[in-house]
Amino acid sequence: MHAVAESPEKIFDPLQDNSCWADPIIIVGTGPVGIRCAEELLSRGYRGRIVMFGDEPWQPYNRIKLSSLLAGDIGIDAIANNVRFMAGERLVQHLCCAVKAVLPDDKTVLDASGKLHRYEKLILAVGSRAHIPDVSGVDKAGVYTFRDLRDTEHLAARTARCRQVVVVGGGLLGLEAARALQRGHAEVTLVQQAPRLLNRQLDDNGADLLQQRVEALGIKVRTGSGLGAILGGSRVTAVRLRDSTELPCDTVLLATGIRPNVELARRAWIKVRHGIQVDDQLRTSAADVYAIGECAEHRGQTYGLVAPGYEQAAVLADVLAGGSARYLGSLNLAQLKVVGEPVFSLGEAADPPNELRQRAITFRDSQQAVYRKVVLQKGCFVAALAVGELPESRRLQEAVQSQRRLHWWEELRFRRTGRFWPEGSEADVSRWPAGATVCQCMGVTRGRLSDALEQGCLSAEALSARTGAGTVCGSCKPLLRDLAGTAGPATVEPGALPLWLSGALGTLFFLAWLLLPAARVPDSVQTGFSLASVWNDGLAKQISGFTLLGLTLIGLLMSLRKRLPGIQWGTFSAWRLLHVLLGAFCLLLLALHTGLNLGANLNLFLALNFLALALLGAVTSLAIGQEHSLRPATSRRLRTLLVWSHILAAWPFPALLGFHVLTVYYF
């Protein structure tokens, strides 16, 4: 990433492209939302020119990654955020060139050099700036904000010599900045005016759990008392809190929120309140002027997160391409790692409004440091939050967006395990609704990824290059591989070949039951020894029967190896293989015990149940032994179906077997 000077507007040859005669769409702002809007226009086949203005001396970059850059986790090249579509001369970027005025009546903008540019449509994606609290001393040396790349450069240079840092603000940005500055071996104190950290995203329980994590990292936390003044001469020496406590420091970082950039719109007499007012098609009060991102106010609300800006960019691109899309607002969604701890917040879960038929259910696992909460309205999902890993985050997001109903058995599962749906059920991305978000950082939906697949992006890397999914935190890359059908190198299940062979052996024994005729009783006892004596002689029948009973019970108990964490002898794959071999041997014993006669009444039910149990076990072994050759989603669904079918078939078996033994000895 390098600083750049302003680039002159390129000259278009109208003989090569007739669209060049038309005035362009001008986008003011080269942040993530402005870049996304240009991409959305190009992806919809827009053939006119797009002219972008940015006032920073850098190539477009992704602000989401600035905390990782400050912490030293990534290099500066990793934050590049250029348009991902080949547009040739139809896309022009004026960098380090601010727009100073908008003249809606003339449909022109005035840049910093005094040049006028005509537009057909104007999109204001001017973002926001850091809020500076109105306290004394904020102009002293050693006071910083953390909003853009220039702030990041200044802070990175400062971390080499700062020793005591006070970060003011316990929101997402403040927490990430505190962690990044601490890695420079500074003593960091986080000051939060609200009574808890992330007060807009988390409730008291979730915030307490997060604060324990923050303090365990060595960051001091003071809540319930805001900044009163910054002390010192020309340079910071301490801060005074509103409760009169003084904290010595040499550096102060203000992370106290943002303010939409509305001055450009206000000077053009475009309606402004907290942000630039827009309607459901993102139109401002001026004709052919639109606003998106953090600067836009829709239905009285502005959004300080990038995901709503991406949604607005997609809606506006559809509108400008002749579509009828409408923006109806966004859910307040935050899903990221805060000081290394996963945090998820969706909707008003922290302080839900007090409404009729509303209730909240929670799950907490102190050992795993996991806390989850869901708010229900008339039995439907309306909000959720979590601290710690949340495997169901994307499916839960879709449930809240669609306000799906929570069934009673799902609630019981959640209260017991912290999950609403069976493990692995959320992994098949291809079955997600088209509007479900796969990449939260870049706001990429399953529908958009599927469109990219149809356009020839057949690998996870190609999907990332086309849509930007997986380019920020990378947590959705396994989902991209699953969707593309390339979930990395196929991993072979431990003991797959012996497992497959054992399953094949059990299947052959089962087929023998179906194909071989039942044994006939000899007409005379003078024939000498024969196999018939094994299932006709009382002693031999008892030996085979009790051996079969004992081995069957051992086989049932062996299935507990995976489900009882206290049993740790041997590997699970070895136990499973022994379980399958034991099942095949039991089939052979059953043949000797019955002579392939299924019997009648209770004996018939017992024999059929045993054969079904054995067949399902054998087929499950075959499937697990070969699942490395299947698509990951297919193998997961098949394994889940067969394993649970095998378990369900085992439930009536002990009762039927007990009745069989009882009736034999009773009669």
Judgement on whether residues 267 and 189 belong to the same structural domain of the protein? no
Judgement on whether residues 167 and 117 belong to the same structural domain of the protein? no
Q: How many CB atoms lie within 10 A of CB 237?
A: 16
- Domain extent, residue 176, equals 143-256
What is the per-residue pLDDT across 315-355, written as a single tens digit (0 to 9) for each?
999 899 888 888 988 888 888 878 888 999 998 899 888 78
Domain with 456 in it: what CATH number?
Answer: 1.10.10.1100
Residues pairing with 101 in the sheet: 110
- pLDDT for 55 beyond 50: yes
Higher pLDDT, 148 or 547: 148
Question: What are phi and psi for residue 361, nearest 5 degrees?
Answer: -120, 145
Q: How confident is the model at residue 538 (pLDDT cuts 50, 70, 90)?
A: low
pLDDT of residue 636: 64
Judgement on whether residues 534 and 657 belong to the same structural domain of the protein? yes
pTM of the model: 0.69
Judgement on whether residues 25 and 83 belong to the same structural domain of the protein? yes
Judgement on whether residues 504 and 579 belong to the same structural domain of the protein? yes
> Measuring CA to CA, which residue among 1, 30, 13 is closest to residue 94?
30
pLDDT of residue 189: 96
Judgement on whether residues 248 and 274 belong to the same structural domain of the protein? no
Judgement on whether residues 542 and 600 belong to the same structural domain of the protein? yes
Judgement on whether residues 508 and 640 belong to the same structural domain of the protein? yes
Q: Assess if residue 292 is contained within a domain.
A: yes
Q: Assess if residue 357 is contained within a domain.
A: no
Judgement on whether residues 305 and 192 belong to the same structural domain of the protein? no
Q: How many CB atoms lie within 10 A of CB 251?
A: 23
Judgement on whether residues 538 and 582 belong to the same structural domain of the protein? yes
What kind and span of H or E run contains 223? Answer: strand 220-223
pLDDT of residue 424: 62
What is the per-residue pLDDT across 250-304, written as a single tens digit (0 to 9) for each?
999 999 999 999 999 999 999 999 999 999 999 999 999 999 999 999 999 999 8
Domain with 246 in it: what CATH number?
Answer: 3.50.50.60
The average confidence (pLDDT) of the chain is 82
- CA 178 to CA 168: how far, in whole Å? 9
Judgement on whether residues 456 and 516 belong to the same structural domain of the protein? no
What is the per-residue pLDDT across 223-252, written as a single tens digit (0 to 9) for each?
998 999 999 999 999 999 999 999 999 999
Judgement on whether residues 291 and 148 belong to the same structural domain of the protein? no
- CA 664 to CA 269: how far, in whole Å? 96
User: Which range in 99-108, 422-431, 568-577, 583-592 is most confidently predicted, on average pLDDT?
Assistant: 99-108
Q: How confident is the model at residue 391 (pLDDT cuts 50, 70, 90)?
A: confident
- CA 19 to CA 49: how far, in whole Å? 7
Q: How many domains does the chain have?
A: 4
The pairing of strands 289-291 and 121-124 is parallel
Average pLDDT over residues 524-547: 62
> Measuring CA to CA, which residue among 310, 338, 568 is closest to residue 441?
310
Q: Assess if residue 481 is contained within a domain.
A: yes
Average pLDDT over residues 137-145: 94
What is the per-residue pLDDT across 155-193, written as a single tens digit (0 to 9) for each?
988 888 889 999 999 998 899 889 888 877 889 999 999
Which positions ≥6 away from 93 have C-beta within 8 Å? 7, 30, 51, 52, 54, 60
What is the per-residue pLDDT across 97-107, written as a single tens digit (0 to 9) for each?
999 999 999 99
Last residue of a domain, one of 289, 304, 320: 320
Burial class, 621, CB count within 10 angstroms (exposed 0-12 / middle 13-18 / buried 19+): buried
- CA 156 to CA 143: how far, in whole Å? 13
